[in-house]
Amino acid sequence: MKICMIGTGYVGLVAGTCFAETGNDVICVDVVERKIKMLNKGVIPIYEPGLKELVDRNTSKGRLTFTTDLDKAVKASLINFIAVGTPPGEDGSSDLTHVLEVARAIGKAMNGYKVIVDKSTVPVGTADQVREAVSQETKHQFDVVSNPEFLKEGAAIEDSMRPDRVVIGVDNPRVEALMKDLYSPFVRTGHPVIVMDVRSAEMTKYASNALLAAKITFMNEMALLCEKVGADVNFVRQGVGSDLRIGHQFLFPGVGFGGSCFPKDIKALAHTAQSHGMTLRIIEAVEEVNERQKMLMTGKVKAHFGDNLKGKTFGVWGLSFKPRTDDMREAPSIVIVNGILEAGGKVRAYDPQAMDEARKIFGEKITLVDDEYEAAHGANALLIITEWNEFREPNFEVLRNSMKQPIIFDGRNIYEPQKMAALGFHYFSIGRPTLAPQNSAG
Ligand code: NAD
């Protein structure tokens, strides 16, 4: 099939590449010239495991190309995906500027019948707006489909090649057959392609993200209570997650959720409800509790060192909003690092992939270093914010000897409290007891 993917970001680049991998001809379009130039030189502008190999293979076969020329790409394609950003507007609603701009551009470029697919996360009713925007620019026939994306950054290739489910909102049986055909190579293991009306498809994406955000937030709140009552959230998590109705995923407490999706999507869902005269009380509470959770680590640091952190240096491990990505959009690390800086502390930070993003966000305000030991060197305490695998088994002796004080605030519970106490660390984690360190003055 001839496919045009408009918006070559985390979603568009991965989805476009995976469609090319199954033999389709895919043209990825973006407005950012620098991005397209990089891709045409074989440089991947984002970090996503496995993506480079897949892009190389498909560009060398000629099935995957990159351009800024939307007009030409649309003319050459039957299926046109919209995968541009939908950032939060000032009032929390989803800003559809890019989506509707692209819809108009597709309309102008059309040279015959087209299928237009909303892959961006968009509020219920957006397909109608897209239809309206396109029809103002063209007399040609077209269909609008909602096909929300469920990939996770860090596992995006696997999620795209073997999705748990594919959701297709469509009202034309011929287009339904076309979309099922397009996705058939990805669901050979029996995962469902769920076909529904367009509005339900748009709603499904928000309901999924809201439930996931609520699950994390619920566990974060349980972790806080565990600390108060002297329970260990790790045991509680295992006990709760073993119930098959609940499951183990998304029960790990931490420093609050971030990323480019959950925060904006729950805001947009709450806004949709408000515009229909309804308050989503659970969703609004999720947002509020998550904001509190992001302040938790700085609060613990201040409870230990006092409100004034002047003269103290903090090593930071992990800045991306989660491991295996360079994405720092809405990352809790931003709130935590800024909290330390505002209290007068200094920060030396390391992240395996997000250093360029961190440089854009923090500039000269923090010191970015080349590895985790350098970040901890001379620090009064180490803050673990993102649970990259490489932080799981460090050389604790080297770490303890290089730090000014052997104190760790672990926002992801990656170590065992007993072991850390035995190694001489003063170890604070989330929802678990803090034990006195042995053989150390920390
Ligand atoms: P992104 O910011 O990484 O990519 C969007 C791309 O669109 C950018 O490269 C931007 O330059 C380009 N763009 C903007 N306006 C354009 C235009 N007029 N013409 C062509 N290109 C244009 O965003 P993303 O993370 O890929 O997210 C895209 C959408 O997918 C959002 O709605 C998001 O909510 C949704 N989504 C994201 C994820 C994720 O994990 N990132 C997962 C599921 C759904």
Which CATH number fits the domain that encloses residue 181?
3.40.50.720
β-strand partners of 337: none
Cα 396 to Cα 209, 254, 376, 426, distances in angstroms: 37, 22, 11, 13
Residues 191 and 261 in one domain: no
Per-residue pLDDT at 78: 98
Evaluate whether 98 touches 84 at the Cβ level (below 8 Å).
yes
Which residue, by CA, sits nearest to atom 9 of ligand 1? 9
Residues 140 and 271 in one domain: no
Instruction: Give per-residue burial for 211-222: e unless 16+ CB within 10 Å, then b.
Output: ebbbbbbbbbbb
CA distance 4 to 11: 13
Q: Indicate whether residue 85 lines ligand 1 (CB < 6 A).
A: yes
Let me know the angle formed at the C-alpha of 11 by 323 and 99, rounded to the nearest 5 degrees.
Answer: 135
pTM greater than the 0.85 cutoff: yes
Average pLDDT of the chain, as a whole number? 97
**Among 99, 260, 324, which is best to mutate for testing ligand 1, by the most ligand atoms less than 8 A from CB?**
260
Please state, as a whole number, how many other Cβ atoms lie within 10 Å of the Cβ of residue 50.
14
Where in the sequence numbering do the catalytic residues fall?
Answer: 261
Q: Indicate whether residue 69 lines ligand 1 (CB < 6 A).
A: no
How many domains in the chain? 3
CA distance 264 to 124: 15
**Residue finishing a domain among 176, 196, 216:** 196
Residues 238 and 326 in one domain: no
pLDDT band at residue 247 under the 50/70/90 scheme? very high
Q: How far is the CA of 46 from the centre of ligand 1 (A)?
A: 12
Residues 138 and 153 in one domain: yes
**Among 4, 5, 6, 30, which is best to mutate for testing ligand 1, by the most ligand atoms less than 8 A from CB?**
30
Cα 314 to Cα 18, 52, 82, 298, distances in angstroms: 41, 34, 42, 11
Cα 292 to Cα 306, 320, 342, 411, distances in angstroms: 19, 19, 17, 14
Per-residue pLDDT at 140: 98
Instruction: Tell me the per-residue pLDDT of 356-386, one tens digit each, with 9 for 90 and over.
Output: 999 999 999 999 999 999 999 999 999 999 9
**Residue finishing a domain among 245, 271, 292:** 292
Q: How far is the CA of 101 from the centre of ligand 1 (A)?
A: 13
Per-residue pLDDT at 441: 47
Q: Indicate whether residue 167 lines ligand 1 (CB < 6 A).
A: no
Cα 421 to Cα 109, 342, 416, 437, distances in angstroms: 65, 30, 9, 4
Token representation of residue 219: 């566990």
Instruction: Tell me the per-residue pLDDT of 169-195, one tens digit each, with 9 for 90 and over.
Output: 999 999 999 999 999 999 999 999 999
Q: Which amino acid is at 230?
A: G
Instruction: Tell me the per-residue pLDDT of 107-165, one tens digit each, with 9 for 90 and over.
Output: 999 999 999 999 999 999 999 999 999 999 999 999 999 999 999 999 999 999 999 99
Residues 166 and 248 in one domain: no
Q: How far is the CA of 254 from the centre of ligand 1 (A)?
A: 26
Residues 330 and 437 in one domain: yes
Per-residue pLDDT at 440: 53
pLDDT surpasses 50 at 442? no
β-strand partners of 410: 384
Q: Which residue has the tokens 């939307």?
A: 70
Q: How far is the CA of 86 from the centre of ligand 1 (A)?
A: 7
Instruction: Tell me the per-residue pLDDT of 29-40, one tens digit each, with 9 for 90 and over.
Output: 999 999 999 999
- What would the mean pLDDT of 256-272 be, rounded to a whole number? 97
Per-residue pLDDT at 62: 98
Instruction: Tell me the per-residue pLDDT of 380-406, one tens digit each, with 9 for 90 and over.
Output: 999 999 999 999 999 999 999 999 999
Sign of CA dihedral 259, 264, 269, 274: positive
Per-residue pLDDT at 431: 98
Evaluate whether 200 touches 167 at the Cβ level (below 8 Å).
no
Which CATH number fits the domain that encloses residue 266?
1.10.1040.10
Per-residue pLDDT at 436: 87
Evaluate whether 64 touches 42 at the Cβ level (below 8 Å).
no
Residues 339 and 251 in one domain: no
- What would the mean pLDDT of 299-306 be, rounded to a whole number? 98
Note down the domain range covering 422.
295-441
Q: Which residue has the tokens 């984002």?
A: 46
Q: Which amino acid is at 111?
A: N
- Which numbered atom of ligand 1 lies nearest the CA of 102? 18
Residues 190 and 330 in one domain: no
- What would the mean pLDDT of 200-210 be, rounded to a whole number? 98
pLDDT surpasses 90 at 311? yes
Evaluate whether 49 touches 158 at the Cβ level (below 8 Å).
no
Residues 225 and 279 in one domain: yes
Residues 242 and 127 in one domain: no
